[in-house]
Amino acid sequence: MTEWQNPPRTSGFSVDPRSAPQLRPSDADRAYVDSTLRTARAEGRITDVELAERLDRTNVAVSLGELQALIGDVSMPTVAGPDSSRLPVTAAPSYVARPQPADLRRGVRFALPRAVATWIALALLFNLIWVLTGGPGSYYWPVWPMLGTGMPVIGLLISLVGGTPSTPTADPPSDLR
């Protein structure tokens, strides 16, 4: 299952206190409330006096509902899953703008001269090193780095001359709509 089909627990409680407010809290629930209150104090949301009061009430709370009430005004709402009524939008956009083939070709036309100039500069550097280290009569090794650095240039030429780039036309998975 994907994370969207089985979203992670975003609340620090062992059980959602809204669905079972009468349930007795565990030590982990109390630790979560303690941590949330201390974070709220560090952020300036509550005073030292309020922190002390709430921590005392945390230790004597007998239900998750009581613990939830202690942090209800200082904690952030949990992250909403894909089927949550708390989502800020009602639906995903039906169209996601993708660059058009003409825009892609314009970018290739801009990048191609720079790529060719870079390749020529590197080829000259490789050949200069070859000449200084052995030159004619020795193995012509610059062909290999020139081929390697020339591959992006070849790719740009193919995308400029070739047809329209393929774009995925399949619908996204149903859990992402």
What residue segments make up the domains of the chain, in order of their start? 15-81, 101-166
The answer to whether the beta carbons of residues 129 and 74 sit under 8 Å apart is: no
Instruction: Single out the residue of 141, 105, 111, 104 nearest to residue 126, CA to CA.
Output: 141
Q: What is the pTM of this model?
A: 0.41
The whole-number pLDDT of residue 4 equals: 46
Residue 169 has pLDDT above 80, yes or no: no
Residue 121 has pLDDT above 80, yes or no: yes
Q: What distance in Å separates the CA atoms of residue 143 and residue 123, rounded to the nearest whole number?
A: 9
Over residues 89-110, the mean pLDDT reads: 63
Over residues 29-56, the mean pLDDT reads: 91
Q: What distance in Å separates the CA atoms of residue 154 and residue 39, rounded to the nearest whole number?
A: 55
The whole-number pLDDT of residue 3 equals: 44
How would residue 15 be classed by pLDDT, with cut points 50, 70 and 90? confident
The least confident of 4-18, 44-58, 77-91, 127-141 is: 77-91
How would residue 6 be classed by pLDDT, with cut points 50, 70 and 90? very low
Residue 119 has pLDDT above 70, yes or no: yes
CA dihedral 102, 103, 104, 105 (to 10 degrees): 50
In the chain, what percentage of residues exceed pLDDT 70?
Answer: 68
The whole-number pLDDT of residue 10 equals: 46
